[in-house]
Every structure is written in C-alpha cells, then in structure tokens.
C-alpha cells in the first residue's frame, strides 16, 4: 500500500498568547475567526501583525488562533534572513532559546525574547492513520514529493500522532518551493 | 566510490546584455569585476540593480559578469512571488516565454519582456569528472544532502558537462534553506 499524505504549505504566521493579544489589540480582546484550518480547532484570524527584526520588517503576517500559552512566530529561513533573526529548526512548542523579534500592530508592539522558529517538517495523523501506515508518534520518516521539475525526498520528517489531528504533512514555503508543491500535492511516505 | 559534490547556493542575481548594461550605466560602460566565482570566467560585479515586478521591488541585486547575449534574471520562487512574477523553472539560457520584469539603477531602467527564471538545479562538471563518476551531459540524477534537521534528496538534478566548468552543484536559496545547506556542504550523487 502506498502511504499517501496531503502536503500543505504553511506560510509564515504567528500564534499569540492572550497577554500579547491584549497588549496589541486591547484589554479582553478576542481574535476574530476567519477560516478553519485542516487541523481541527485551528483557525486563521482576520487580524494581522507586523514582524520586526534587526534587518527588516515583514508586514501583514497571518495570526493563527486560538490563543496559546506562549507566543510563537513561524517563519521560513528566507524570512529569518531578511528579518536578521537567527531562527532554529524546531518543533512547534519547543521555543526555549529560539529567535527574538518584535510583533507590532500599528503603534503597539510586544517584544518576544524567544519564540521565533523555522518549523521542523512534520506529519499530523490520528492513531488510526498511524496504525494503518505502521508508524508511531515521533517516528522520523522520509516523504517523496514528485513534481515536474523539482522532485524531492524530504528526510527528517517527524510523525506526530494525536486523536485531534487530521492527516497532513506541513512544510514551510522554502521547502514547498524546493519541491514545486501546489495545492493538493500528495507525498508518499517511504 | 561515493560521488561527492560541493553544494553551492546561488543567491538571486542577474546577467546583463551589453545593451542593457549601457542603458543602465551609460554608453560603453564595462562592469567592475569584484570577485571570481567557482565557475571559471564568471565573476560578481561591484554594481547592483533593483528588480521591479507588479507586486514588489527587490533592491541591491547582484550582477554576475561577463555580459551575455541576452539578460537573464535568476530568482527564487519566494522572490518571484514577492515580485508578483510568474517565473518558470528553467536551465540557464532557456528563457523563451519566461517571466517579465523591470531592471532599474537609480532613475534608469530597462524592461525585460522575458528572462526571469527560477534556475533548474544542476551540477557543473568537467568531462574528466563525468567519466570518473560515470555520468554524461544532460543526465538527470539525484543528490542527497545530509544535515542536522533537514536531510533531503534532490531529484531532477541536471548534469552539465563542459571543459570550462568546475565541479559544483548549484541550487537556489529556497532549496538551500530546505536542506539547511551551509558554506562547504557536500552532497552525494546517488
């Protein structure tokens, strides 16, 4: 059986703590739900922020809800370079000692001493998916993506198993461009 | 024998025709040699240009010399998106029907109706290298790059054989970031 997985490209985005949401948008503010994402409970927000680093600014960056215990900024390595930030490759939530930046909305801003990462490529799946594919949580796999001019096999792909997940591989825009991914591109777990 | 190859990252750059050099810098102008590149006869120039597309501008872009019969702009897919240009994956020199952009220096500019490409990944080698590795010109190979968190195998890599070449694989910044390449990173031809 070919172990197929939908490959989704994560554009740069931020997850904000409620403290940071209130510092940027006002006391008691709730983010506005715009669109559900593939992972259940996750959503894109109407609100946008600017990311400011020592070398540059990226405007109009997506916020993903709901609020999290700590703010986290996920950028591509290309973005990190243009911002002038050293952002390590990390799994979501593993932000200790990661990159620093300023998050701004209009004239309000918050300083993140850490939280800027380049997301480690990963596959979300349910325990049923994992059993069907013969995989376990935290397993490292390879995924081949076949395209017209940029066929590529990603190594170091982390499998993440949780009943609340939906089956999808997440890569950043650099990785997506390197494999010429398009909406609907499927990968095969080797 | 492991078929090793140095992996070099090509940052965005332009090659200019003499006509465009003169339109941008003045009649009879010669580009200023700054630094030799790994490929014999190719060099980085002191002069820089801006690239202007429908959605954005990228400033301070490297010019590679010497002058070529036709101008060619090599960007990453990330760059193409920020410029708002549709740039196909192409081998150098194959620019028919490729992307359009404006190249500017101060208040002078030239319109390129075509010439903007995302370079197809490739390996330069001499006939001696090719014989040693058992490869031929235009052969498509796979190259594995091992890194700490982003090991990756590039498919669709074109071998280009010419006595004037030096052995090196060239990838763009998106591809380099996807594999976490650093100066001196070596790939293995599979």
| Closest chain A CA to residue B174 | A174
Task: Map tokens 């609340």 to a residue.
Answer: A164
Chain B residues within 8 A of A150 when measuring between CB atoms: 89, 121, 155-156
Task: Report the distance separating Cα A72 and Cα A114, nearest Å.
Answer: 8
Chain A touched by B177 (CB under 8 Å):
yes
The pLDDT, as a whole number, for residue A71 is 97
Burial of B45: CB neighbours in 10 Å, binned 0-12, 13-18, 19+? buried
Residue of A178, A185, A188, A190 best to disrupt the B interface, most CBs of B under 10 A: A178
Q: Are B89 and A180 a contacting pair, CB within 8 Å?
A: yes
How confident is the model over B98-108, as pLDDT tens digits?
999 999 999 99
Residue A17 per-residue DSSP state: B
Question: Is the ipTM above a cut-off of 0.90?
Answer: yes
User: Nearest to residue A29, comparing CAs of A41, A44, A19, A15?
Assistant: A19
Would you tell me which residues 85-144 of chain A have a C-beta closer than 8 angstroms to some C-beta of chain B? 89, 120-121, 142
Whether the CB-CB separation of A12 and A62 falls below 8 Å is answered with yes
| Residue A60 contacts B, CB cutoff 8 Å | no
Q: Which residue of A has its CA nearest to B75?
A: A177
Put simply, the answer to whether A177 touches B179 (Cβ < 8 Å) is no
Count A/B contacts: CB-CB distance under 8 Å: 75
Count H helices and E strands in chain A, helices first: 4, 14
Distance CA A143, CA A132 (A): 16
Cα–Cα distance list, B132 to A123, B2, B156 (Å): 40, 11, 21
pTM for this model (two decimals): 0.95
Contact assessment for residue A84 and residue A110, using Cβ atoms and an 8 Å cutoff = no
Chain B residue nearest residue A80, CA to CA = B177
Q: Does the beta carbon of B67 lie under 8 angstroms from any beta carbon of chain A?
A: no
Digits of tens for pLDDT over chain B (190 positions)?
899 999 999 999 999 999 999 999 999 999 999 999 989 999 999 999 999 999 999 999 999 999 999 999 999 999 999 999 999 999 999 999 999 999 999 999 999 999 999 999 999 999 999 999 999 999 999 999 999 999 999 999 999 999 999 999 999 999 999 999 999 999 999 9
Q: Which residues of B touch A121 (CB under 8 A)?
A: 150
Q: What is the pLDDT of residues A110-162, one digit of tens each?
A: 999 999 999 999 999 999 999 999 999 999 999 999 999 999 999 999 999 99
Cβ count near A140 (within 10 Å): 11
């Amino acid at each position: 059986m070919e172990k197929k997985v939908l490959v989704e490209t994560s554009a740069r985005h931020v997850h904000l703590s409620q403290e940071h949401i209130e510092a940027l948008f006002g006391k008691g503010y709730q983010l506005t739900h715009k669109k559900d994402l593939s992972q259940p409970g996750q959503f894109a927000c109407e609100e946008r922020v600017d990311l400011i680093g020592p070398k540059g600014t990226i405007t109009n960056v997506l916020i993903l809800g709901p609020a999290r215990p700590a703010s986290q900024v996920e950028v591509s390595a290309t973005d990190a370079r243009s911002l002038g930030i050293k952002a390590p490759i990390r799994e979501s939530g593993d932000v200790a000692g990661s990159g620093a930046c300023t998050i701004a909305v209009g004239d309000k801003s918050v300083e993140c001493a850490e939280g800027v990462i380049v997301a480690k490529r990963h596959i979300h799946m349910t325990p049923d998916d994992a059993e069907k594919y013969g995989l376990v949580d935290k397993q490292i796999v390879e995924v081949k993506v076949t395209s017209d001019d940029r066929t590529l096999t990603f190594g170091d792909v982390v499998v993440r198993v949780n009943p609340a997940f939906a089956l999808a591989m997440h890569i950043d825009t650099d990785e997506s461009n390197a494999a010429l991914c398009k909406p609907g591109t499927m990968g095969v777990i080797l």
